[in-house]
Amino acid sequence: MTRLETTVAMLDEMIAFPTVSSDSNRDLISWMAERVESAGARVRVIESEDGTKANLFASFGPEGDGGIVLSGHTDVVPAEETGWATDPFTQKEADGLLYGRGTCDMKGFLACVMASLPDLAASDRPIHIAATYDEEVGCIGGRQLVEVLRTEGLRPRLALIGEPTSMRVIEGHKGCCEYSTSFHGLEGHGSQPDLGVSAVEYAARFINRLLELRGELRDRAPAGSPFDPPWTTLQVGRIEGGVAHNVIAGLARVDWELRPVTDDDHVCAVRAARDYCNDVLLPAMRAVHPGAEIVTETIGEVRGLELVDDNEAAALIASLTGVNEADVVSFGTEAGLFQSLGCDAVVCGPGDIAQAHKANEYVEIAQLDACLDLLAAIARHPG
């Protein structure tokens, strides 16, 4: 079979693993590990803390620092949308398109990597393959993998994250940080509100402070920021609390998120929200009820890919694809994690993000072919 035919066949097998983030990815990781090891790679399977999931990290070529890591996530979002014309976990080909959950986001890229193993194994430079878990719910596996590499002192020079960009070269994206702040007050009869601590009312005050922060972040927009909008955004996604009209609410929760342009914006906003809770709201709540609490849970913190003046990874991929310029996107990836490790990172992969996370997800076969050409060029590049 040709490399493209092999890719389509590999993707067919990979789609059949229903690796929704809420479920295990271990079967797919084992399937990948067996094939990568057979191609001559040094293979490590890094388990999650509870052992139900795992990352794959495999290396060809010389040991030690340097080279390039080809990274993709194995998990997919649930296929519960109405409108699927076929079984989401059975690949279907029609009119040059491959349909199925994960074909675009992002098993298409991983299938290209698997089909390119002979080329990658023959390269003279270090080439690493990373396949992570739980990217869709906070880059949990990617964070674990990067910390393992950091602890062990292994630092690839470049990182290519193959998220669906229609093979455009992406050199920057915002972060995505999600939090849930819970307010634990004191229930009571609605006729005597001063004797209770309404968690809903304090949650409302917190939301007002978040909206003030939104304006402050807008004023911090970096000059010349290419993002749309150019500043760090903050929004409240959900509030819930209380049990009835005539009962003082004992519990409330606010779900909110940041899309930071810079790490500094992220740190400043989180600190401001925390200080308002600890220094203003909590003392007022405890003046009535000493057992009152405010707890913020971090749901996920995905680092942004910050723009740098000299991004070697972006320059390399642009030169190999013939693209004249790099771009930025609004969606998040694991690229910022590798950047934090000291790698130059870039995002480029087959498929259109507009097709992800929806019914009848698909990837164009022509996009897979273009990705294969890029991987072959990476394998040949002297590095």
Indicate if the pLDDT at residue 15 is higher than 90.
yes
DSSP three-state, residue 241:
strand
pLDDT-based confidence at residue 14 (cuts at 50, 70, 90): very high
Residue 330's pLDDT is 81
Which residue(s) pair with 131 in the sheet? 56, 72
Contact between residue 132 and residue 142 where contact means Cβ atoms under 8 Å apart: yes
pLDDT-based confidence at residue 74 (cuts at 50, 70, 90): very high
Contact between residue 26 and residue 80 where contact means Cβ atoms under 8 Å apart: no
Q: What is the pLDDT of residues 196-216, one digit of tens each?
A: 999 999 999 999 999 999 999
Q: In this structure, which amino acid lies at residue 92?
A: K
Higher pLDDT among residues 239 and 124, named by residue: 239
Residue 293's pLDDT is 98
Indicate the domain borders of the chain: 3-173+305-380, 176-302
Q: To which H or E segment does residue 207 belong?
A: helix 199-219
Q: To which H or E segment does residue 188 belong?
A: strand 188-189
Indicate if the pLDDT at residue 383 is higher than 80.
no
Strands 54-60 and 127-132: antiparallel
Residue 34's pLDDT is 98
d(CA 377, CA 123): 10
Residue 382's pLDDT is 80
Question: Of 55, 159, 114, which is closest to residue 371 (Cα–Cα)?
Answer: 114
d(CA 317, CA 369): 16
d(CA 369, CA 4): 6
d(CA 40, CA 59): 9
Q: What percentage of residues in the chain have a pLDDT greater than 70?
A: 100
pLDDT-based confidence at residue 57 (cuts at 50, 70, 90): very high
Query: Is 75 among the residues known to form the active site?
Result: yes
Q: What percentage of residues in the chain have a pLDDT greater than 90?
A: 92
Q: What is the pLDDT of residues 156-178, one digit of tens each?
A: 999 999 999 999 999 999 999 99
Indicate if the pLDDT at residue 358 is higher than 90.
yes
**CATH T-level fold of 176-302:** Alpha-Beta Plaits (3.30.70)
State the residue for tokens 């399977």.
45
The average pLDDT across 37-65 equals 96
Contact between residue 341 and residue 148 where contact means Cβ atoms under 8 Å apart: no
Q: To which H or E segment does residue 27 belong?
A: helix 26-38
d(CA 113, CA 33): 13
Which token pair is 340?
A: 């934090």
- 3-state helix vs strand vs coil in the chain, percent to 5: 35, 25, 40
Is 23 exposed, middle or buried (CB count within 10 Å of its CB: 0-12, 13-18, 19+)? middle
What's domain 3-173+305-380's architecture? Answer: 3-Layer(aba) Sandwich (3.40)
Q: What is the pLDDT of residues 18-43, one digit of tens each?
A: 999 999 999 999 999 999 999 999 99
Residue 257's pLDDT is 96
Indicate if the pLDDT at residue 240 is higher than 80.
yes
Q: What is the pLDDT of residues 262-290, one digit of tens each?
A: 889 999 999 999 999 999 999 999 999 99
State the residue for tokens 């098993």.
107
State the residue for tokens 């995002």.
347
d(CA 246, CA 35): 63
Indicate if the pLDDT at residue 235 is higher than 90.
yes
Q: State if pTM tops 0.95.
A: no
State the residue for tokens 């890229």.
109
Please provide residue 243's backbone torsions phi and psi, each rounded to the nearest 5 degrees: -125, -25
Catalytic residue among 105, 119, 134, 135: 135
Q: What is the pLDDT of residues 326-335, one digit of tens each?
A: 999 988 999 9
pLDDT-based confidence at residue 64 (cuts at 50, 70, 90): confident
pLDDT-based confidence at residue 138 (cuts at 50, 70, 90): confident
Is 312 exposed, middle or buried (CB count within 10 Å of its CB: 0-12, 13-18, 19+)? middle
The average pLDDT across 9-18 equals 98
d(CA 100, CA 178): 28
Strands 251-259 and 233-241: antiparallel
d(CA 186, CA 363): 53
Is 208 exposed, middle or buried (CB count within 10 Å of its CB: 0-12, 13-18, 19+)? exposed
Indicate if the pLDDT at residue 324 is higher than 90.
no
The average pLDDT across 298-309 equals 89
Indicate if the pLDDT at residue 359 is higher than 90.
yes
